Amino acid sequence: MSADLATSRPRLGPATVRGPRILFYSHDTFGLGHLRRSRALASAITSADPKASAMILTGSPVAGRFAFPNRVDHMRLPGVIKRTDGSYASRTMGMNIEDTTELRAGLIRSTAEQFDPDILVVDKEPTGFRGELLPTLELLQERGKAKLVLGLRDVLDEPDVLRAEWDRKKALHATERFYDEIWVYGLRDIYDPTAGIDLSAQAQARMHWTGYLRRDLGTVGAPPEQPYVLITPGGGGDGAMMVDLAISAYERDPTLGPRAMLVYGPFLSGETRAAFEERVAALDGRVTAVGFESEIETLFVGAQGVICMGGYNTFCEVLSFDKPAVIVPRTSPRLEQWIRASRAEELNLVTMLDETRDGWTPEAMIGAIRALEQQPAPSQAIADGLLDGLDYVTRRVDTLLHQLPREAAE
């Protein structure tokens, strides 16, 4: 990135000499959710304003596999992984986690200096991974030329667990101190992700409930031969149980239909996937599988129904493509997916295969797959504004840009 981006420019409120610049921070220590959400937002903002550009800072190791729209780019931060004991380590660099975090923090701050954003949108973590975002927040607040936004998905975790996590990370203090607005990518009457957090009245007044983020229903490729059920664990890193259950259903019942299209996700381990591949091959085409599909929208379009986990982005896809779905939510390390799935089931948007209530057995999965054909689509229960998130965000961006301070030309 050229150094001249850091030089001062005359600003004339919303009608700037250069187009608006939006910087997204997406820590992405695990999975695809944060990057995909930031990518959807960046695409909507730049589509709404042909002069706007966006940069996504991401730690996702698979960011390069995604196509980014015109005027949207990304910068990959050194990756980190979460160990089974909950601690973190550098993914590839042979550095300890403290040095890796310091390196990431420096790259984030340097990018913010040179990209000179008008708006910074931070996904989920108010202070960033291990506090790495704090130097950038302080820089931008001191400059006073950018609006700072915290974006939260509809569900974070159960209130008591979330409160303890935010206390440990000093996230509440950072939210109160730095952020001009808080965007919740959901609806208040479905779930409040800040329940249990002692946000001040002033911070609560800065909250905006955007609605869910509709997935692009534009040009997609031709789907595979129909009918089929789409089975997707999202990123796949924690999806082995669900994939095993789905394959077991087809193994147990040779009459089970329609056939299944299985997308493993990029984070399913190679050894586990190899074992699944042998079982899929033995099913003689009743189940077909791919490792990673960057345009999974094509598979959603043609699916009779969906078997999936309960991550935010997959849930948005189910709603956007209006597909009957059975959610198999994970319950660790956090209850986020179970909370989302159980609330959505209450509203008749989806059904849930609950471990305690239904059992995670091949028989339960067989019943769920067979029931999909008669299950109503989400649109039969959808609420007004449910999928208005992208439009709402683009309107908020326009409002924030008009609030930027006017500066005299040098």
Q: Is residue 219 part of a domain?
A: no
Same domain flag for 375 and 395: no
- What DSSP element (H or E) covers 209? strand 207-209
CA 213, CA 192: separation in Å to the nearest integer? 16
pLDDT at 307: 97
Question: 264 and 341: one domain?
Answer: yes
* Domain range for 311: 228-380
221 part of a folded domain: no
Instruction: Kindly state whether residues 9 and 111 are assigned to the same domain.
Output: yes
pLDDT of 88-119, one tens digit each?
788 777 889 999 999 999 999 999 999 999 99
- CA–CA separation, 338 vs 310, rounded Å? 7
Per-residue pLDDT tens digits for 311-324: 998 999 999 999 99
Same domain, 397 and 371: no
Alpha helical stretches, state H, 75-121: 97-115
Number of H helices, E strands in the chain: 13, 15
Q: What does the pLDDT average to over 258-287?
A: 90
Is residue 88 domain-shared with residue 37, that is, in the same domain?
yes
Return the structure tokens found at 48.
Answer: 């709404």
What pLDDT does residue 236 have? Answer: 63
Per-residue pLDDT band for 69 (boundaries 50, 70, 90) equals: confident
Sign of CA pseudo-dihedral 142, 134, 237, 362: negative
The H-or-E segment that residue 402 falls in is helix 389-402
181 and 283, same domain (yes or no): no
Domain membership flag for residue 409: no
Average pLDDT over residues 82-93: 74
Please check whether residue 223 lies inside any domain of the structure: no
The model's pLDDT over 335-387, given as tens digits with 9 standing for 90+, comes to 999 999 999 999 999 999 999 999 999 999 999 999 999 999 999 987 688 99
Asked if 287 and 280 touch (Cβ cutoff 8 Å), the reply is yes
Amino acid, res. 22: I
Mean pLDDT across the chain, nearest whole number?
89
3-state secondary structure of 94: coil
Residue 306: which H helix or E strand, with range?
A: strand 305-308
Amino acid symbol at 177: R
Helices assigned H by DSSP within 282-335 = 297-302, 312-320
* Total number of domains constituting the chain: 2
**What are the CA-CA distances from residue 381 to residues 313, 346, 386, 391 (Å)?**
19, 10, 10, 21
- Detail the DSSP E strand segments found in 6-95: 21-26, 53-58, 72-76, 80-82, 88-90
Query: What CA–CA distances, in Å, run from 114 to 50, 109, 110, 122, 273?
Result: 21, 9, 6, 18, 42
Secondary structure percentages of the chain, helix, strand, coil, to 5: 40, 15, 45
Average pLDDT over residues 213-233: 85
* Residue 285 domain flag: yes
Q: Is residue 172 part of a domain?
A: yes
Name the nearest CA neighbour of 53 among 20, 26, 75: 20
- CATH number of domain containing 238: 3.40.50.2000
Residues 146 and 28 in one domain: yes
Please indicate whether residue 223 or residue 200 has the higher confidence score (pLDDT): 200
- If asked whether residues 152 and 275 sit together in one domain, one would say no
In this structure, are 112 and 256 located in the same domain? no
One-letter amino acid identity for 46?
Answer: T
Same-domain status, 85 and 47: yes
- More reliable by pLDDT, 246 or 4: 246
Please indicate, yes or no, whether residues 371 and 395 belong to a single structural domain of this protein.
no
- pLDDT reading at 410 higher than 50: no
Is 222 a domain residue? Answer: no
In a domain, 410, yes or no: no
pTM (predicted TM-score): 0.88
Instruction: Check whether 8 has a pLDDT greater than 80.
Output: no
Runs of H (alpha helix) within 12-96: 33-48
Same domain flag for 358 and 396: no
Non-local CB neighbours of 15 within 8 Å, separated by 6+ positions:
none
pLDDT of 9 higher than 70: no
The angle subtended at Cα 66 by Cα 334 and Cα 260, nearest 5°, is 65
Amino acid type, 254: P
Percentage with pLDDT > 90 across the chain: 70
Q: Any idea what DSSP says for residue 406?
A: P
